[in-house]
Each structure stands twice: as C-alpha cells, then as structure tokens.
Amino acid sequence: MASASDPIPLYAARQPFYAPAFEIKLSGSPAPSKVMRDIMEVTYEDSVEKIDSFTLTVNNWDAENRTLKYVGTSPSGPDAGNAKLFEPGSQVLLSMGYQGDIRPIITGLITTVDVEYAESGSSRLTVRGLNVLDRLRRKQYTWSWPEDKKSSGIRDSDIAQALSPKANDQTGKPGLDIKVVTDSQAASSEPLNPNVFMYNQYPIVFLMGRARRLGYSLFIGQDDSGKDYLYFGPSQDLRQVTYVLEWGKSLASFHPTYATARQLQSVTVRGWDRKAKKPIEGKATLDDIKNINADLRAVARAANREDVVVEEAIQTPAQATDRAKKILEQRQRELIDANGATVGLPDLRCGRVMVIRGTGQPFDGQYFIKETTHTINEQGYRTTFRAHREQPEK
C-alpha cells in the first residue's frame, strides 16, 4: 500500500496553481492548435477497481462556414482532414497540469463518440476512452497465491510475473497475453503476502488494484525490438506526493460519512476440501486487525455482528483465516468514507494516500484514495476524490 511518508501541506508543494493547461496527442501526433481550441473540456477518472478513463468535450461546429468540423464534415469542406481524428479505436495521450508543469495522465483508446446536434444548429462531441490496458481485459478467473502451500508467502511482483503468457494454459490458470516486466530491486522490499485471492476478476484489473495499493505504475511499453511488454513497479515519471489538505484552506469541499451499518465483530470463512471430503474453516475477529482505524475499534465492536462467508476457492484453513482477516480489514476501512474536492492536483491519484486536517475528530487522519476525477474547463482545473480513512494522523 502507498506510504504516507513526508506529507506536505498544499501551500508548501511549490506547485503553480494558475493557468491550467492540457496537451493532447492523437494517434501519436500533437493535436493541431485549431483542434485544441475546439476542445472545451477534458476529464480524467481513475479508480482502484476499474480501468481508468478519459472524456473530451469537443466543439463540432464551424460557426463562420456553418459546417460540421469533425463528425459529419463534408469531404470537400475546409475541415475534411479532421473526419477521422476522433474515430473509435484511435489512440489518445492526455497530459494535464499547469503552464510549465504538464505531465502525462493517460494513454488510451477512444471507445465511444456521442454526437449532439442542437436545435440552434451547433454540434458537439463527447469522446470517451479507456486506458490501453483495457485491451488485456478478456476473461475472468478465480485463483489464489502462493500456489506452493508450504510457502510462507508471495510478493506482488512475483504474482505479476506469474501472470505472464507462460501461465495462460489449458488448466484454468489465469494469465495475460503479454510479457510482464518487474523491478527486481523494488520487489525485494515488498512485503510477503501469506495468501492473495483473485475472485472472479480480469487479471489486468486485479493486477491494477495490486499496483495501486503499492503506489506502483502499470503500463504498456515497448522493448528495443518493438514488442509490447507490461511494466509493474515504481514509476519514475509520477511524483509520489502525499498532500495535506485542510478544510478552510486547500479543501474546497469535504463530505465524510461515519457509519457502522456494515461493521462486524468477527468473520468465519468456510470452504470444502473435495479430496478429504471435509469442511475447511477459518475465523478472524477485530482483535486480529491491528493497523486499520485502531482508534475507532470500540465503535466497530459495538455492532456485535458476525458473518459467515462461503468461499469456493479456499483450500486450507490458513487461507480461510487470511480471507476472513481481509474481509474484516475492508469493513474497518469503510467506517469513514469521504468525498471531497480541491484545486487540480495531477499527483492526487487513486492508490495513494493523503492527510486531512481541520475537520476535527474522528475525521482528521490518513486517507486512502479510491477514486479521483480531474477536470479542466473554462472554470479552471479541479480534482474531486473519494477516499476512506485508515488511521488517525500520527
């Protein structure tokens, strides 16, 4: 999971917050200036549970010549060369930030083009696309690691390597149709996970979630021979910043929800050993959860509810117990869920952490970012987020 080391207040970030700017490359080439002037709004969205995406709002009407400019343009008109710029399947590289400080946000493929023909005669496009990683989303799997049940655990980089093409065979084992490259130095410092479960997920979405919880990047690159590979590891391109956002200063809005409706006292996970023909069971209680919202443990305990989960993928009691702990940890993270907005921050991304101050207890503390939306339009650049609190500020 991302670290909250060296958090910095927004005013000390030395980042310019005037003159928002964005750049777009279409099919590998910078968009012409006249095309850039027609882009009215750009939006980027990311989430720990979904493939990240982008949206462009584009003026499609030439008021001077009273003709369409992109979709529907005349083959003999002044904008005939623009007819295929925003076709589905075209590649887009979107960069966002401020004048003098713009950085790549997403490389994606256009998936949808919505065209609006208004009563006034004008027209606009809403162009939507997904990260190029989406082309690796093909089949869902259920699997668990480590495969060697005598192993003490497995690192996330090892799981990424296990999803390389060699794993994609006829045994039902999950795999990706692309070579996976990891950072051996970073991998050596990753924690050992006693048990990791992928439950009915696309391997690329599962791996993206693992990457974001470590603060890693996941992207498609090309080697010297021009062959694609998937990189899983720390990024040198994105600055790993932990911001301190304060109500009344850098937080434009903040809406936390403090709820115990889904809290549990304990979880029991049950499976079935087909070979031995006997049940498998593991149990965890709140006393087994050490580092998630420990200051709010009494509130969760007061719920006094137990849950039983049937897991077909469980193969040993140790796996069942570990799965029960994971369920309890997730419920503990859901104690305080929040939505908020701040000035546009390209480095405020899902999978990272931030510190909230100025809202009092129990809301001040360290938050894990689950979703962000970055928007640049005529009103400026704003970032909204969804996050959950994991611990009070130290």
Last residue of a domain, one of 311, 333, 355: 333
Confidence band (pLDDT; 50, 70, 90) for 4? Answer: very low
Average of pLDDT values for 231-254? 80
Chain centroid offset of residue 227 CA: 26
Residue, of 243 and 274, whose pLDDT is higher: 243
Asked if residue 75 belongs to a domain, the reply is: no
Which residue type is seen at 28? G
Asked if residue 208 belongs to a domain, the reply is: yes
Is the Cβ–Cβ distance between 199 and 313 less than 8 Å? yes
CA angle 72, 74, 80 (to 5 degrees): 95
**CATH code, domain carrying 214:** 3.55.50.10
- Token pair in block for residue 347: 């480095």
Asked if residue 244 belongs to a domain, the reply is: no
Is the same domain home to 149 and 191? yes
Rounded to the nearest 5°, which phi and psi values hold at 118? -80, 165
Confidence at residue 1, expressed as pLDDT on a 0 to 100 scale: 41
Report the number of distinct structural domains present in the chain.
Answer: 2
How far is it, in rounded angstroms, from Cα 220 to Cα 132? 8
- What domain range is 312 assigned to? 266-333
Is the Cβ–Cβ distance between 148 and 158 less than 8 Å? no
pLDDT at position 342 over 80: yes
Is the same domain home to 225 and 280? no
Is the same domain home to 227 and 276? no
- Token pair in block for residue 17: 């917050």
Mean pLDDT over the full length of the chain: 85
pLDDT at position 3 over 60: no
Q: pTM value?
A: 0.81
pLDDT at position 219 over 80: yes
Is the same domain home to 286 and 215? no
Confidence band (pLDDT; 50, 70, 90) for 9? Answer: low
CA angle 20, 251, 380 (to 5 degrees): 20
Asked if residue 284 belongs to a domain, the reply is: yes
Is the same domain home to 153 and 202? yes
Confidence at residue 313, expressed as pLDDT on a 0 to 100 scale: 64
Last residue of a domain, one of 190, 216, 233: 233
Is the same domain home to 298 and 216? no
Q: How does 131-165 read in b/e, with b if 16+ C-beta sit within 10 Å?
A: bbbbebbeeebebbbbeeeeeeebbbbbbbbbbbe
Confidence band (pLDDT; 50, 70, 90) for 86? Answer: very high
Asked if residue 179 belongs to a domain, the reply is: yes
Residues 17-36 pLDDT 10s: 678 999 999 988 999 999 99
DSSP 8-state symbol, 167? G
Per DSSP (E only), the strands in 146-250 are 179-182, 196-201, 217-222, 228-233, 243-246
Residues 351-367 pLDDT 10s: 888 999 999 989 999 99
Confidence band (pLDDT; 50, 70, 90) for 77? Answer: low
